[in-house]
Structure 1
Amino acid sequence: MRNQVLLIIVLLSALLGAPVATTAAEGISISETVLKMPLADDVSMDDAVDSMKLRANTLNFKLVAHLPLYKELEAMDIETNRIEIFQFCDARIANEMVIFNPDFSAYLPCRITLLEDADGKPWLVTLDLGKIIPSANLSPELLEKAKMVRDKIESIMQAGANGEL
């Protein structure tokens, strides 16, 4: 339960760009659990979206959901910078992970957030799977698949950050 609460705090912090302090007893700060990539100066946020979608398709990773959170907030008359959440998945691997341990469902699907910080700088943010995978106690076969998912998510982010089509 504590890990799920920490994950929720991590995701909300990533979305809102808010720093969250932790105590030594808690062990890890939220910023240590995420992977952030700035967009290159010549890459627009729309170009980043197109690049991520194209890369995901090339890698056989399905875009299963898209939440333009900033539009929801604007509809509520809340002024905000751009915040969009993209969810990607390989259903076969997701199923294998949940069969192995239902707790993995809390990490599904893989999310990448595109956001504009308070200074107007665009970023891509995701959970740093490289820090989660080592503690998952996976079989060698599932470990390889988890690493593949990590690598594909990072590839999708790199494509977006660099505007690679």
Structure 2
Amino acid sequence: MRLVRNLLALVGVLALVTLGVAILALEPYVNKARSLDEAALAVYAGMARTILETGDPMEAMVYQRRAAAGLSVSEVETALDQAAREFGLHSLGTLAVQRQVLAQTGRDFPLLQIHLFCDPDLASDLIRHNPSMAAFLPCRVIVYRDEDERIWLMTPNLDLVIHGGRPLPLVLQERALGLQQMLRDMVDKAAGADA
């Protein structure tokens, strides 16, 4: 009985030591986590859920919609450009990836276009806040055709940029959220869905 009691006491002491080491090791991260945007943990949890469901981290990093059946690429592009003008976004052009692949390799490639848009005022404010934000600019909407000949539109999910770290200044955060909503509305409208 004495041996069992001593073993249980040893296990208890080891558990307390392990707990103490874990607290000491994790404490700096807990304090850092407190400095994050209040929505950061929800954003990371949502991304993790999507990754676990799909097995693909890229699915968590984009917002996408399939274009309504019967819409042509030309109709989707026209609707996309019209929506951009409605929202006051400046078009910076379109990169026709399929043409570039064909020109450089001689091989056909499915439709893949990258439409570039910009709100120069917001872009400059975001870059002044953090130059790394330039990596997410200009704003992009991708139009592509899948292997089943369906047309899709997608844009980056900016949740991580907006809420993933220390909070943006409130005015900048509101403007960035507005831009994200505009891009999603553009995708929805061009896909033939009412936003």
1:1-165 paired onto structure 2 within 5 Å: 29-76=57-104, 77-136=106-165, 137-162=167-192
Shift of 1:121: 1.3
Shift of 1:75: 2.1
Distance 2:117 2:159 in 1: 17
**In structure 2, the residue corresponding to 1:142 is in which secondary structure?**
helix
Greater shift in the superposed pair: 73-82 or 99-108: 73-82
Distance 2:108 2:84 in 1: 31
Runs of 4+ in 1 over 6 A off after TM superposition: none
Shift of 1:125: 1.4
Is the 1:48–1:163 contact (alpha carbons within 8 Å) kept by the matching residues of 2?
A: no
**In structure 2, the residue corresponding to 1:162 is in which secondary structure?**
coil
Identical columns (%): 22
Identify unmatched segments of 5+ residues in structure 1. Answer: 1-22
Q: 1:163 to 1:34 in 2, by over 3 A?
A: closer
Shift of 1:55: 0.8
CA deviations over 1:97-139 (Å, ceiling 9, x no partner): 0001101000001111100011211100111113431114201
Is the 1:70–1:83 contact (alpha carbons within 8 Å) kept by the matching residues of 2?
A: yes
Is the 1:56–1:156 contact (alpha carbons within 8 Å) kept by the matching residues of 2?
A: yes
Aligned residues: 139
Say what the alpha-carbon RMSD is for the aligned residues. Answer: 1.9
Q: Which amino acid aligns with 1:123?
A: W
1 or 2, which has the higher helix percentage?
Answer: 2
> Structure 2-normalised TM-score?
0.67
Q: 1:163 to 1:82 in 2, by over 3 A?
A: farther
Q: Which amino acid aligns with 2:94?
A: H
Q: 1:83 to 1:71 in 2, by over 3 A?
A: same
